[in-house]
Structures are given as structure tokens and as C-alpha cells.
Amino acid sequence: MSLLGTLNTGASGLGNSSSRLSVIGDNIANMGTTGFKGMRANFSDLMPSSMGGIGGSNQMGRGATLGSTMSLFGQGGLKSSDSALDFAISGEGFFPVTDGSETYYTRDGTFFMDNEGFLTNGAGMNLQGTTAADGVLTGLQGDLQIDRSAVPPQATENITIDLMLSAETVVSTDDFLNTATFDGTTTTGTALEDIEAAFGSGETATGYTSSVTVYDDLGVSHDVLMAYERVSDTEWTFKAFVDGGKLDNAAYEDGGAVEIASGTLAFTDGELDTALSTAPSLTLADTFSGTTGVWSPEFDWGVDFSTGEPSGDGNLSMAGSQSSMATISQDGYAPGELTGVNLDGDGNLMGTYTNGEERIMGQLSLATFGTNTGLNRVGGNLFQQTVDSGQAVLGGPGVGRRGSVTGYALEQANVELEEQFVEMISGQRAYQANSRVVSTANDTLQELVNLV
């Protein structure tokens, strides 16, 4: 090989070392870039020149060239943040965002809410996902938007009861519920608190009361008193009352407890015996003041009284201890204003309201590709799909090979500073060695010129 060839070989080494240092410098510069994926320079040798020889064809190397730069899609560490709209992916997948004409993909989960409630990245591109309407996922992909309107009230339709009544020996013969004087459906002059006091709130084996707050169709709350009275070793009676002063009926304007439901609860071996029981039936025929319909909830005891089969989420039993209510709940609520947005474990954006309700605002989608290394970097923490990467496939977090998404967190760059320093030292030494090749070839060439 001529000295000029040696100069070219050394120059190719200098160029490659410079490219290598450039990639390392870019990695280090982006160590603080959210979701950044480091790069690696790959080199290949140039086609050698052929030389004749006694032993056959011989080849002489002519240096190296930059073969490719490769993105490294290893997982970056997660860092907590104080924003509910910061999301971090653990595992495979990218957030899809769009500028209206082109869809891009990013691991940068820093998002904001614009004045219309759309979730956007720093460049104003809209985050894509499964949209929701009235708190229900539609199954359609589109721009994720936070509905900031108030939640309308919902009247109580179901009261779910998980109750254990006492099976202890009857210690009192008082029969308050059955001997009280009723005027139609109202107790004469007996207020809710008087009924509750008569039972001692579960202090005896013969009576037990509990209460639950329900809502009418205007979202106004009302207290319902649930009164249970032991009438035999195996039988209890049940009645439910509301405050008559809250009803749209002049007969109750002075108040008093108005019965809205009643029934008989009989037990065999501690289990509800539906054949001997009377399903609690509603007796309320009036509306709450200002409402438009008769309030008619259903009581969920965990059993279908008509068939005796399990039904619903409630539970009713009798055992040898004081009566106790495990849980009592209902499905109504007052109007509510949006107070915040959180991400649940399924990638759903959940809106929380002042009335304690939660509502789905949408679900994040993650895009996966045939190969991530085929993606094209376009800057701004964004990638574009290419023929090499294959088409994006969208789906919910945790579905298939897609990773999970964490709220209040961001993925850091997957660049290790120590590793980059080692690469940088190696690249610097390679640059120095190649410069010596060029310098030596130049000196030798100069000496040759002087000899001539």
C-alpha cells in the first residue's frame, strides 16, 4: 500500500473516532432528557484492495467506515413527580401523539391539559387513547380529553346490606315495631331518633338499628333508619323509616317517622329461610319535596327471596353474638365537581369529584412495533414508524407484551454516565492512535519527497 493509502486509512480512523465521540457526546448531553434512548455507533471495515502475489491473491485493508447508528431501547429508571399527568412506561410500548396530520411515538410521558381539556405534550400534540363518554369507555381511539363538567346527581336505586343478626336468647318482650300506633304509614309523633333510642343501637339481643344516607333525584341527601326487632328465637321483623318532614305530603309536615319498607326475616340454622320470610317490600307512596318521582330503592340482602338463591352483593345471617352491620352502602350521590385526575392500574384516567365519585375519562394506549430499532428519530423525544419498524399496534397497558404505565412518575434516560466515560476514553485513545498513523505517514511521505 502506498503512503497515500496509509494517509487515507488513518483519516478513515480519525473520522470514525470522531463519529464515535459525537454519539457519546449526544448520549451524555441527553442524560436529563425524559424518556431518551441512548445510541451506539457501529463500524465496518472498507472493502480491501486486492494485491497479486506468489501465494495467490492477497488483500490489504483500506480502513473503516461508520456502518450505522443504533438506538438502544433498554428500560430507563423511573423518577417520581408531583404531576398527575406525568406517566412512565415500564416495559414495551410508546405513547402515541398526533399533530392532527401525522402520528408520532414517544417514551416521554410529560403531558399537560390545555384549555379544552385535551392532554398534550410540550409540542402541543394530542395524546391518543381510548375515549370515554359519560364515564364509559367507547372502544374508539382518539384524542384523550378530560371532561371537566360537573357530575349530575343520581338517585339511590340499591341499598346493599351485609348484616349479622343475633341468635342469642330473647331477653325482652317489648315489641316496639308491632305495637307502635301508625297513622297510615307514619308513626304518630315518633321521630327517627326515638325509634333508634328504643332499640339501644344493638345493645340488646331483641333490637338493632342502623342508618344509611340516600339521595333523591335532585341529589338531596336523606337519612333512612333501618330497624330490626327480634320476635322469636328464629325470626326478626324489619322496617325502614324516613323523616316525614322531608316528604311532599302535608300530612307529614310536622315530621315523624314514615315507614317506607317492611318485612319478616326468618332463619334456619343461621341461614335465611326464604320460605318462612317475607321479602321487605316498599310502602312509600310519596315523593321527597321538590322531586319528580317516587323514590323506590331495592334492598340487596344477597338472596333472591322468590327463589332462595344467592343474588346480589349483600349478606344476611344470624349467629350467637350481638347483632352487627359489616357494611351498608348505596349507589346514589349528590352533584359533584371535578377535583382531580388519577391513573389506575389498568391505564384508565379516573376523574375524582367532590361527592366522592370516580368516573373514567379515557384509557391510555401504548403502541408496539415489530422492531423498535427500525423507528426513525425525528427530534423532540419523538419517533416515527418506518417500513423497517412495521406498523404500530395499539392496545391498553399490560395487554399482550405491552408494559404497564405508572402515574406521578417519569422515565429517565437509559444512559449510564460511567459507561459513557469508559467509551469516551476508548474513543479518545483511538482518535490519538489514528492521528499518529496520519502523522507518521505524513512525515514518511515528507522524507520521501526530500530524498527525491
The pLDDT of residue 380 is above 70: yes
Q: What's the rounded Cα separation, in Å, for the pair 424 and 361? A: 47
- pLDDT tens digit string along 78-99? 999 999 999 999 999 999 999 9
Higher-scoring residue by pLDDT: 441, 259: 259
Instruction: Please compute the mean of the pLDDT values over residues 143-152 and round it to a whole number.
Output: 93
The pLDDT of residue 254 is above 80: no
- pLDDT in the model for residue 367: 97
- pLDDT in the model for residue 185: 47
Burial of 430 (0-12, 13-18, 19+ CB in 10 A): middle
Is the CA virtual torsion 162, 166, 172, 175 positive or negative? positive
What CATH code would you report for 158-330? 2.60.98.20
Question: Cell numbers at residue 444, please?
Answer: 514518511
Which of 15-19, 112-116, 183-187, 208-212 ranks highest by mean pLDDT? 112-116
- Percentage of residues in the chain with pLDDT exceeding 90? 44
Which residues make Cβ contacts (< 8 Å) with residue 17, sequence separation at least 6? 427, 428, 430, 431, 434
Domain ranges of the chain: 3-69+415-451, 78-150+338-411, 158-330
Q: What's the rounded Cα separation, in Å, for the pair 71 and 92? A: 15
Q: What's the rounded Cα separation, in Å, for the pair 245 and 180? A: 19
- pLDDT in the model for residue 6: 65
Comparing 178-182, 347-351, 359-363, 441-445, which segment has the lowest mean pLDDT? 178-182
